[in-house]
Chain A
Amino acid sequence: MSEAKQTPRERTIARRYVWQMLLLMALYVVILLVSIHALKTGHYSPIFRDLIAITPAIPMFGVVAAVIQFMLSIDELQRQIHLEALAIAAGVTAALAVTYTFLEGVGLPHSQAWWAFACVDLTWALALPFVKRRYE
């Protein structure tokens, strides 16, 4: 939907969401670089090392909070559209994870779980226009 067709309330919600995402992504990059540097240069106890290693996940939980806030801000149809697209994204991601697990069984390299986060985001964005079309 073009911005000209949006109400001021819609624009406010969309802008807030975009800014929150940009800030959280920037925060993620900064924390990731700092934690990598800290782990490479310092000597820590195992527990402290683990804590430093998981610090980049903090902005990811911020992303989850921003998505929840976005979902609660939009109206009931928009929420239904996003939840349907998110359900498709979750299903596709789960199916891809299981499929790759079978491939790991025949010798493909072990995958890291972080791709699931990106996969959900990507398939959510791809599914959204198709779900929206049903209500147009």
Chain B
Amino acid sequence: MKNRIRVLRAEHEWSQAEVADKLGIARQTVNALETGKYAPSLPLAFKISKLFELPVEHIFDPDSVEE
């Protein structure tokens, strides 16, 4: 699933490790999210939404979901 996490992270000048620490997840997970290799669960998506203070649909592109 495409998303704007990498862009938002860059805007906040955070490293992947910093985002991982803030979300309580692994750095590898942040990388997998950014590259679209992994679609997060609803609770994690809301945590990401809360971290960047943006609605979920402004971060994740629902039209890019792969079957």
Contact = CB atoms under 8 A, between A and B. Distances in A.
Interface stretch (A29-37, A39-47, A74-82): A74-82
A132 B37 CA distance: 11
B28 A76 contact: no
A42 B37 CA distance: 60
Which interface residue of B25, B31, B37 has the most chain A CB atoms within 10 A? B25
A interface, size bucket = 10 to 19
B26 interface: yes
Nearest to B23: A75
Interface size class of B (residues with CB under 8 A): 10 to 19
A75 B25 contact: yes
Nearest to A6: B27
A8 B41 CA distance: 23
Residue of B17, B26, B32, B41 with most partner-chain A CB within 10 A: B26
A134 B37 contact: yes
